Structures are given as C-alpha cells and as structure tokens.
Chains A and B, each alone.
Chain A
Amino acid sequence: MRARILRIVFIVVVVFQAGCKPLELDPLPAQEKIVLLGELVAGDTVAVRAGKSLPIVEEGIMPDLPAGVFLTIRQGNGPEVPMEYVEDFNEQLLRTFLFTAPIRIESGSRYTVRATHASMNAAEAEASIPMPFVASVTDTVTTNYAGNEVVEVNVIIHDVGAEKNHYVVEAVKQSVHLLGMFEFVGWWYDLYTYQDLYDSLRLAGHQLNLETDTSYSESLSRINIYTNDTRTENLRFGNSMAANRRILLPDANFDGGSYRLKVFLQKDQMVSTNEWDKGRVLFRIRSVSEDYFRYLKGYEQKNSGGGISSIGQPVRLDGNVVGGLGVIGGVYQVQFEYWLDDL
C-alpha cells in the first residue's frame, strides 16, 4: 500500500513537472505613439523634441528614432509654421529629435504643436503661455538643512491676480568655461592644452597675444531643492526632508498678492572644484500652464530610480498631447544667477 502511494505521488510529480516551464508574460496591447516633449518659454524661440513610445512586451528593444516625423507650430488661430529638424548630439541618447522654429514665444498666447508621421497617428499639444509676473529673491544665506549644507533662498512672488497661476521653483547648474587662447606665429592655441608651450614661450621672452572666450554648456545639472512650506504640493506627497526636483505651488495659494517662499538648495551641487563642472547656478521662478503643472506634479512623485515592480504604487503622468504622449508646457520665467565657483 505504501509503495503504491509513493508510486502515485511520483507519477503525479513527473506529469506536472513535464508540463511545467517558465511562465511567459503576455505583452500589453499598445500602439506606438508620437512623443512630444518640451517647453514654450516666453521670450525664447521654439525648441521641442519629438520621438516615439515603446510598447511594453516581454522583451523589447530600445525605440528607434521616428524618421519621417513632421512638426508644425501655430500661434492662436494663425497659420501653421513648419518646424525644422536640427541634428544634435543628444538624439541617440534621448531617442528624440530636436525641432525648432524661428518664432519668439509671447506670453498670454496659445500655441499648438502638431506632429504627423506616416505610420503613427497624428499628435497635437496645446500650451497657453502665462502672463508676466514679478518675483524677487532676498536674504540668501548658507545654513544647514536636512543634514546638508544648503543655500537658503527667500523668494517673493507677486502674483498676477486676474488669472490662474501655478508657480514652479527650481535650480539648475550650467557649466561655464573660460577658454584662454594665445597666438604664436599666426596660429591660435588653447591655453588649457598648450599650457607648457605658453609657459616656455613666455620664459623665452615672447610677447604673446592672449584672449579669453566664455562658453556655456547646453546641458544643465539638477540641484536638489528642499522646502518646509506646507502649502507646496511637494509636502502633500513628500516631506520636508525629501529632496525635490522642483517646488510646486498651486494656484490655490495665490490671490493676486505677494507670496513668500523659503527654499534650500544643496550647496555641494552648486559649487565645484572640477574645472569642467564649474559654472553658474540658474535659479528659476516660473509660472506654468495648468496642464504642465499637473504633469510636473506626477513627475515629481515618480521614482526616478527606474524599473517597475508590481508591489509599487504607480504614478500616472497625464500629459497634454492628444493622440500621442508627453507634454508641451507653457512657461513664463524669472531667472536669477548665482556664481559660486571661482572660474
């Protein structure tokens, strides 16, 4: 009897085991879509990036760049202006193309960006550019906050009372290089590379023509920003010790008067001893369109660590691209500069 039971158990195990293989997960039904990402900043010219999305499958590959995508921009009910593709070194990394148009963005206007592609649905995003506002920065001091040495910045925003205004405060660092050049027998040499030649020529008594040029890096580095202002969106979903990308102030806080906000910038990210990281800190106070503010609220909550797990709570980002994905934000900004590095 015992042997019979063991034999039955063995057969059951073998049968089940034979039919068992690693589980395959079904792909989700999704179509590739045009992705539009960018900001229309009052006073700047138009620069928007376009790409395509990658549907999730069991094992996918990086999305190809959507060759053949065509973009236009329209101000209000005005004519559509074609945007021009501009090749840049980032497109392979970001999997998006840069498109520009020689239009200067005007505050108080509404713009429509439209993208078409032969094999994907057309995508369209509309962004309203906020009206100008006044902001000032006072009492900037170095202090400690959340275990970090920080620069405390006190901001005063003078709200535009007549309209809905959502404000965003952020800081980024832009590398700035002072490039020294010297001339010798009709040729220009850069000082950083040919410092030895420069020194030996000077010792030999040559009078060298020396000039400097300032170059600004296109890419910016995010500086962690903190706040303990309980009226910010950040403290609704995070805490006052958490580092943020942006500080978000919803319209509900503003009634046309002045608003004082205290923020803290992580100082070690503002200062650098590395020559290539030295530069200026751009402190931006921005009024943004409502769609963009909603997208940024989600963006601020999402875990930037990458990856997804079924035990995590998802954060949904609702953009304003109809027929596609992404967001085109309308921005009016007031910008301040801090120079903390010895260039």
Chain B
Amino acid sequence: MKGVKAIFLTLGLFISLQLCVRATEISDKQYQPSRRSATIGFFLEEVRQQTGVEISYSATSIRLNKKVRIPPGPLSVRALLETILSGSNVSITESNGKVLIVPKETGPAGPRTVNGFVRDADNKEVLIGAHIIFPELGQGTATNDYGFYSFTLPAGRHRMLASYIGYRTDTFYVELKDDLRRDILLAFQDPLEEVSITEKEKIESLGDHVHLTMEDVGRHQALLGETDVMRTLQHLPGVQTGMDGTSGIQVRGGDPGQNLNLLDGSPLYFIDHFFGVTSVYNTEAIKSIDFHKGAFPARYGGRLSSIVDVHTRDGDMERWGGQFNMGLVKSSLTLHGPVIKNKASVLVSGRRTWVDGLWRPFEKNVALDFYDLNIKANYVVNKNNRVYVSFYTGRDQIGVKVDLSDMQVRWTNTVTALKWNKIFSPKLFVNTTLTFSQYQFRLKDRRLEFGLDTILTIGDYNGLSSIRDAALRMQAHWYPHRRHKVQAGWSYSNTNAVPTAIDYQHLMSLQGMDASASDIHSHEAIVFAEDEIKISDRWLLRAGVHLANWFSDSFRYSSLQPRLYTSYKLSEKHVVYASYSQMAQFLHLISNNTFGLPTDFWVPSTGSIRPEESYLGTLGYAGNVKGWQYNVEGYYKESPGVITYTSGRDLFDNTGNWEHKIAQGKGWSYGAELSLQKQVGKFYGSLAYTLSWNWRQFAQLNDGKRFPHRYDRRHNLKLGLTYACSKTMDFGANWSYMSGEAITLPDQIYADLDNNLNIYGGVGGFYTSEFTYNYTEWNNYRLPAVHRLDIGANFRKYGRKRYMRTWSLGMFNVYGRPNILFVDLTSDEQSGYKLSGISFLQYIPYVTYKMNF
C-alpha cells in the first residue's frame, strides 16, 4: 500500500503544480499600443507581436479594415479586444492557449449541425476515431465506431480540419446556413512523408483509451513472424503476457478471462490459435483496434480488466484487391472488393496452418492444425442507412492416434454479427446489432481393441465445455450541443453455458454414462447512458452509468456501475486526467494457465457463484514536448469475487458438482505506468514501463492469507525501435523485460502416507514408493526474470497500382535467453530430486512473404 500512496501523491503533486503555473488567463496580459487610432487588423497584429498571444478569428466575421480608436495608456488584451470589436456580432473566449473571436450564437442564425462520415479516399472504408477540428473555435469531435461525426456550431463560415493517424490532414471551409451533411475523404500518407512539427507536437491521447491501426501492429516482431493484435497490446504499459511467447494478455492485475475480446461487437470466448503463437484476430482482416484498460465508457461491460474492441475492414468499395501471406506456420488469403461500386462491398479472409501438410503424407496419426475464416459484407442502403453482416469461424485441433487410443481435442469459435446504422437526424446516429457467439471445447478419447477380423470400440469418451450467447443491442449517439456527446442504449442477451459434460459409452459392457452438468441458461439485460461534456475548452467530463442484470429462474444479480472520466488540458501539449470505473463480470474463465490448454472453462455466475466486480481508479498525465509523446498513469484496482480452483483437477473431473471446486476471494492491484514515444527522422522509438503489485486472497487457500498473483510482475519494460531506411526497407528491434512470475512450489517432500501404511498402488505386489509435496504458501517462489530481444526486417517491392510484395525476416529471442516456461520437479529413486526450468523458445528465426494486389 505504501507504493500506491507514493505513486498517487507524486502524480497529484505534479498535476497540482502544473495547474498553478497555468492559472493566469492569457487575455489579462498587458498591451501598450503604439498608436491610438488604427484599423482592427493593425491592432490584432500588434497585440500578437507584442504579447505573443495568439488570436484566432474568421475573416468573415470581422471587418479587419475598419478604423477604430482606443483610450490612451496600457490596457489588457481583453480590454483592447472588447473596445475594438464593440458593435461586431462576435464573442471573445479563450481556448487552448489562444484567444478566439467567434460569431455570436444568438439571433436568427442559430446553431447548425455539420455531420457525416470520414472515409479512406482510396477504398471508401470508414475511419474510426478520426478527428474533426474547428481551429477558430478551438473545438472538435471524433468519429465513432462507424466513422460518423456530428458537431453543432454557430451558423456561418468555418474552417474545418479532418485528421487521422497515417492520413494527410484535410482542411476546408464549410458554409453553415443550415444543417449540413459533409462526408470527408482522407488520403493515405506515405510513411516517410514529412509531417508538420505543429501536428506532431499535438497531444494525441487524452489517456482514456488507445487506438491502434495496423501500422502499429506491424511494428512488433513476434514468434514465427506472426504479427498479431494481442502481441501489440503486450507492448503497452499495464499489459503483460502470461507465459513468454504466447499471445494472451493480462491487464492491470487481471486474469486472461477478464478481458472483453470483441470482434465487430461480438464477444469472443477463446482467442488463442496454435497454443498462443497467434490469436484468432486475423491481422489481414482488421482495420483498427480500440483498447481500454481504464476509464471504461458506459457502453462496455461484462469484464473487469480491459476491452479489446477489434473492428474488421469493410472491404474496398472501389476495386477488387487482396493479400496473400505465407508464414512459417500458416498462410492466408484475403480478397475484398465492391459488389456494387460505392454501394456494397465484401471481404473474405481465410487462414490455415500448412506445416501439418508436410508430415501428413508420412504420419497420418498426428493432427495439429487450425483454420479460421472472416467474412464481412456491407451495403449502403442510402445516405442515412447502412447494414453490415460479419461472420467468423475458427477451429484448432490436436489429434493423436497411438496404438489402441484415438484422442482428439478441438476448440471452435463461431461469431456472427448483423448491424444496422441509421442516421435519424444530423444529431442522432443509432446502431442496432444482433450477435451470436459460440465457443466449444471438445475432448474425444476412443479406446480400441482388435478382434479376430475387425476393430471393436471399447470405450468412447466425449467431453464438452461450451458457451453460447445471442444478443440484441441498440446504441444511440446523440450530439445535442457542441459541448455534449451523449451515448445511450440497451442490450439483451441470452447465454447458455455448459461448463462440462461427459458422455461415455463402453461397448463391451454395454454400459453408458452421461455425466453432464446441467445447462445453465441465463439472461442479461443492460441499459447504459453517458454524456461527454466539454465544461470548458480545456475541461472535459464524461459521466456515465451502466446497469446490468444477470438472471435466471433460480438467481438474479443486479449491478449499477458508475463510470467517470475527466481530463483537463493544461495547454495544447499537456493534459491531466482521472477516472473511476466500476465493472462486473457474470461469466468467468476458470483457468490454471494462460495458453489455452484444455483446463480453460467458462462458467457462469449462478446461485452460488456471485459476480466478479472491480473498482478502478486512475490518475494520469500526458504530454508532448519536442515530439516526445509521454504518458504517466497511476492506478488502484480492487476486485472482489475473483475466482479460482480450490484444488488440483480440472472441471472435466467434476461434472455435477463443478461449483464446489471454485473458490471466490478478492484481488487487488496497484501500480504506475509510463509510456514514451519519439520519432526522430527515420527512427521511431517507444518505451513502456509498468511498476505494479498484484495480490489475491481466498478464505479456502493459503490459510486465508493474501498471496501474490501468479503474474505479479514488479517490473515490466518494453523497448521498441524501428528504422525505416526507405519506402522499401525497414528494420525493427524490440526488447522486453519482465520480473519473474510467482509460482507455488513445495518447500520440501516427505514419505507417502499409503506406502507407510503398507498399502501400495495396485494388485501385483508392485512397490511404487511415492512422496508427498509439502506446500506451505501459495505462489511462494519467484522464477527468474524473463527478457529477450526480437529483431526483424521488412523488404518491400512495389509494382503497378497497389501491387506490393513484402519479405519479412527476423529472429525471436536473438540472444537465446532460456526463459522458463514451466518448472518441473522430478523424482528419481536413484539420483534424488531435481527442480528444473523448462525453456525452448530460443533463437527462433522466421521468414514470411506477403503479396498485396
């Protein structure tokens, strides 16, 4: 606790100092006029030169050549402006370190609304999170998840800027006599093209969430060259991986199951492919990612730690194109194009492992593969209506046939979403979504016996764990005033969970067994509302509430979750922010590892398993000084109701009484995070550091005493460096360091009870001496720190039009650090006992080939 207090005190002190420094209004600055009579334009220019105060105005609202006379002697900037502009229909305000002269909103020419979509000029796909700015007003907005914006401002002529990361900023004027629909096209910017200093020095993030594009994803090398969304998130402060080399994430002390993984708004319950080498998010099909680890907007709920909101590409509205990708493990093909030009488009992207094809001709008894398929279609019905249909299915499988045994394990995800966007008015945008998501884990084990001339099936074991939900959601974006952005909506979902079910047939004895845990049928009803209020040009407040109800015939839980976020811009380059979020989780992933082995099960809240909850507070500061983008943030999170196994078997041992194997306790974590980015010429560097503590406490474990969470890593540091030599070549390196994880090891071993009662394992008089492990405390042993360096290079060759080939080469864990993945304590009656760490992800090279067309 001392650590967290120190962090918050330091941050608080720092922010207070910043606020004190900037308390004086800039228009109070004194001005000594050189003459008493001159044009308005002369005085405005002289004030700027003499005091350094920037004054923004629209030439259409002021007569600059009008001669005016002012009183003698020095006067404040405000007094001067009020004098020379008296009689003009304008008001004087301050915003972001500037004095703004804007037309008054009163009178017959009242406020007007400009709205529309921001799209990529090339393929007409909408851009999420693009900024719309009115420089003279010092205000603006951003596009929502569907590329829509709406902003209300005084009637008249206004300069308007539209910008998006990686695109050229577009500047133009709009004449607002009436409400105006203005769709904007932004052109992609060459990565090596110079960006103006002023653009680069603006602060990009207000600390509430991280918006990632595919350019960000491509910066990070990954195991076997599989660039991946989840691996990119691992490079953010506050996010860490579980087992080194895998793609799962753990956010601010949370478990992997406490992340809400969304694919076009549909929840995904299993995100690993190939034991975590890559995730189910197909990079070729993705447009952008919104990642929230605090300051959760009211529309999100159902998980405690983070929201990974992945938006897939819509498909090119102009022409057909695609991408082919060949890696060491899998290959993929993506095709997209217009079905009706500028009206309807479709995207199809599929991936499949190919390495299994190499051994299949020789070894048919081992199956190890995965595939997935993304399909998305959208249709612009008219300028106010658009519909989307997206579909995802994916499957991982392991199968082994050995002698008389035939075992197969399969993980299957299927997700479908149907969306309807409607612009009801320039100020009201509504999205309605119908989703279906299903995850199934199947374990088949068939034992065989050979008869005289046939094969007899002796035992047929089928284990199943599944979760399925269907949901209808409606979300309204209402922009009533330029200082208010309201989001409100509701959702209803119907969830069917089968934590474990076992079907066992034994042919010889003609005996069957159905040991199913009963299906748990639950409903969730949610309403939410939130208003993002610009209290002043500097101060933003987002207040919301999320009310969730989880119920069935036998239980009912209700959770009212307030959400609050506020930011205060100290200047164009500095912002302080704070947030408080309360979350609740009704579906729980019970897991004892982080890379998707069969011991991961989704279980719902029931009459005896209450929801998990979290209370998260954050305080942060973000700035941009001379191109150094930085962010410091402290957090404290409490999570009552966190879930774990009570003892040593997975739920497949335990069908009817699975609830008895689950313990609920509390978790809490706190820490500080720092991120730093800088572009220097062709170099781009980044740093993300997290200092954190993460605790758990369960009445049934460790004598009820607190113990560190397995992934209580004190230090987590990620460094990245990219060098883009030219348009055709770039190099990158990433170095990561994490404190070792905490695991539970026995402090000693001793003789076995049964053996000492002269009882041995089986008939036959075979003496198998065993030993008992004496566990004293939970997570009492620290593994060595994990660190490694990954390097990579991309070589591109451009052809005609959009044709491009890319070769990517690299190496994972260049210096071969033997990071420990497992610990094993093996006993050998001859030589004794050995505590050993198992590591195998060293010096792993990769090469991938990508072709865009």
Contact = CB atoms under 8 A, between A and B. Distances in A.
A241 B513 contact: yes
Given A16-B815, A307-B824, A309-B823, A94 B755 contact: yes
A53 B748 contact: yes
Interface stretch (B2-10, B487-495, B762-770): B762-770
A33 B749 CA distance: 10
B753 A327 contact: yes
Nearest to A318: B703
Interface in A120-154: 144-149
B496 interface: no
Nearest to B243: A311
Contact of B515 (A57, A240, A269): A240
B765 A277 contact: yes
A307 B835 contact: no
A317 B648 contact: no
Contacts of B826: 306-307
B791 A306 contact: no
Interface stretch (A24-32, A110-118, A182-190): A24-32
A311 B511 contact: no
A93 B768 CA distance: 9
Contact of B818 (A9, A22, A39, A230): A22
Contacts of A220: 757-760
B124 to A, nearest CB: 39
Contacts, number: 265
Contact of A313 (B597, B648, B825): B648
Interface stretch (A69-77, A101-109, A202-210, A295-303): A295-303
A222 B762 contact: yes
A194 to B, nearest CB: 24
Contact of A309 (B814, B824, B832): B824
B106 interface: no
B825 A307 contact: yes
A230 B774 CA distance: 29
A33 B511 CA distance: 49
Interface stretch (A58-66, A78-86, A159-167, A247-255): A58-66
B653 A238 contact: yes
B91 interface: no
Nearest to A305: B770
Interface string A308-322: 111111111100000
Nearest to B830: A62
A184 B72 CA distance: 147
Interface in B729-769: 731, 733, 743-765, 767, 769
Contact of B647 (A27, A28, A268, A313): A313
Contacts of B744: 310, 314
A29 B745 contact: no
Given A54-B748, A237-B647, A239-B654, A299 B753 contact: yes
A269 B762 contact: yes
B592 A311 contact: yes
Contacts of A269: 762-763
A147 B459 contact: yes
A260 B609 CA distance: 30
A200 interface: no
A304 B761 contact: yes
Contact of B509 (A144, A311, A315): A144
B88 interface: no
A241 B504 contact: yes
A38 B767 contact: no
Interface centre among B502, B510, B747, B748 (most CB of A within 10 A): B748
Contacts of B762: 221-222, 269
B444 to A, nearest CB: 15
Chain B interface size, under 10 / 10 to 19 / 20 to 34 / 35 or more: 35 or more
A90 B831 CA distance: 19
Contact of B748 (A93, A301, A315, A325): A325
Contacts of A168: none
B773 interface: yes
Contact of A20 (B756, B780, B817, B832): B817
Interface residues of A, number: 95
A107 B765 CA distance: 32
Nearest to B819: A23
A327 B814 CA distance: 51
A62 B759 contact: no
A276 B765 contact: yes
B743 A315 contact: no
Given A144-B509, A310-B822, A313-B647, A56 B814 contact: no
A74 to B, nearest CB: 21
Nearest to B460: A147
Contacts of B755: 93-94
A175 interface: yes
Interface string A244-268: 0100000000000000000000001
B615 interface: no
B820 interface: yes
Interface string A1-35: 11001000100110011001011010111101101
A178 interface: no
B748 A33 contact: yes
A60 B828 CA distance: 10
Contacts of B655: 239
B626 interface: no
A197 interface: no
Residue of B504, B772, B823, B839 with most chain A CB atoms under a 10 A cut-off? B772
B511 A59 contact: no
Interface stretch (B140-148, B378-386, B656-664): B656-664
B717 to A, nearest CB: 16
A100 interface: no
A304 B731 contact: no
Contact of B775 (A146, A148, A315): A315
B837 A62 contact: no
Given A13-B815, A245-B754, A313-B592, 15 more contacts: A17-B816, A22-B818, A23-B839, A28-B781, A37-B756, A53-B748, A54-B748, A56-B825, A59-B833, A94-B751, A241-B513, A277-B765, A302-B773, A314-B773, A326-B750
- A-B pairs, top 5 by smallest CB distance, nearest first, are A16-B815, A30-B747, A61-B832, A147-B506, A37-B756
Interface of A: 1-2, 5, 9, 12-13, 16-17, 20, 22-23, 25, 27-30, 32-33, 35, 37-39, 49, 51-63, 90, 93-96, 144-149, 172-173, 175, 217-223, 230, 235-242, 245, 268-269, 272, 274, 276-277, 295, 298-299, 301-304, 306-317, 325-327
22 contacts: A20-B815, A28-B781, A37-B751, A37-B756, A54-B833, A56-B747, A59-B834, A59-B835, A62-B832, A149-B509, A219-B767, A221-B760, A221-B761, A237-B661, A239-B515, A239-B657, A304-B770, A307-B824, A308-B823, A310-B824, A314-B744, A314-B775
